[in-house]
Amino acid sequence: MRGLKRCGYPFTYDSLSLPQKGSNVITFYQDAVKEQIALKRSGHIRRLVIAPCSLPIISSDPLFKYVVQHREYVDLILVHTEWAKHRIIENAPELEPIVTTWPIGVDLQEWSPPSTRTGKQVLVYQKNSPSEVLDSVVDSVNKENLEPVLLNYGNYNIDDFYRTLSDCFLAIFLSRVETQGMAMNECWAMDVPTINWTDSKNIFNQHQHSAPLLTLQTGRHFCHSDELRQLLSDLSWLGTCNPRNWIIGNLSLETSIHRLVHLVCNGL
């Protein structure tokens, strides 16, 4: 909503009331999907878009089955990244024409890096990796005479995160699966490259699964501790990273909102 206001697009937001007849509607709530499909079927809604994370991507899920059954009344299904799109199409090939990616942009006014950093502190962002992986990462950081700063997912606020990123020159993310990875995108906006742990046991290519938007401009990934040690022992690769510039060029809030409005109003 902040982005729509900033970009000057008129919109209404109300999760409870009936949308104005002829509206383009984005539904962000799973509970509203069936209701909105009924409104589209009756001709009340002009275009219906199911927003990211509003559709379970498990073929056995009742809501997924319902959307497949009534797909003629859904104009677009948005997902944050390619692996989620692949999963939906794998489960329901008939949905392929209406599934596309739309990552959420980062507000560069809110996430702006400091002029200087110490070059010693490393954020270790623990989401759901095994405890032995976390212990190994902290040990590897310490052995390189760097200072690990631990943040646990769900146990900090935005101000804590901003202050931490203002102090850290590098971040290590320990997450099994991300639909987009908003926290790491905010790291990049703060000009902090990330090293992302991948779990090779998962069926998807981890470079696209635990860090689906990771590029050589924004960071690197590792699976085993020896790979992390190599990255930490020789930090010359940081010279090839320009994470904030990548966000400016690809994932600013304004860029994201313009694409969203185009998709909602005009389609693919």
Query: Which tens digits make up the pLDDT trace of 244-257?
Result: 999 999 999 999 99
Strand pairing report for 170-174 and 194-197: parallel
Q: How confident is the model at residue 208 (pLDDT cuts 50, 70, 90)?
A: low
Q: 256 near 3, Cβ under 8 Å? A: yes
What tokens does 94 get? 């008939």
Q: Which pLDDT score, from 0 to 100, does residue 207 have?
A: 53
Among the ranges given (113-117, 144-148, 196-200, 255-259), the one the predictor scored with the smallest mean pLDDT: 196-200
Q: How confident is the model at residue 142 (pLDDT cuts 50, 70, 90)?
A: very high
Q: What is the mean pLDDT of residues 220-245?
A: 95
User: Is residue 205 over pLDDT 60?
Assistant: no
> What confidence score (pLDDT) does residue 134 get?
96
Considering only 10-14, 96-100, 177-181, 200-204, which range has the smallest mean pLDDT? Answer: 200-204
Question: Is residue 124 within 8 Å of 174, Cβ to Cβ?
Answer: yes
124 pairs with which residues across the strands?
Answer: 150, 172
Question: What is the predicted pLDDT for the residue at 83?
Answer: 87
Lowest pLDDT segment from 48-57, 149-158, 193-202, 212-221: 193-202
What integer pLDDT is reported at residue 18 of this predicted model? 80
Q: State how far the Cα of 188 lies from the Cα of 185, in Å rounded to an integer.
A: 5
Report whether pLDDT(238) > 70: yes
Q: Is 211 exposed, middle or buried (0-12, 13-18, 19+ CB in 10 A)?
A: buried
What percent of the chain is predicted at pLDDT more than 70? 95
What does the pLDDT look like over 6-61, one tens digit per residue?
Answer: 999 999 988 667 888 888 999 988 888 999 999 999 999 999 999 998 888 888 99
Whether 217 shows a pLDDT value over 60: the answer reads: yes
Arithmetic mean of pLDDT over the chain: 92
For residue 203, pLDDT over 70 is answered with no
204 pLDDT higher than 60: no
Cα separation, 253 vs 108, whole angstroms: 7
| Domain limits, the chain | 2-105+252-266, 121-250
| Average pLDDT of span 166-190 | 95
- The per-residue pLDDT for range 109-125, each reduced to its tens digit, is 999 999 888 889 999 99
DSSP 109: T
Exposure pattern of 217-256 as b/e (b: 16+ CB <10 Å)? bbbbbbeeeeebbebbeeeeeeeebbbbebbeebbbbebb
Give the CATH architecture of domain 121-250: 3-Layer(aba) Sandwich (3.40)
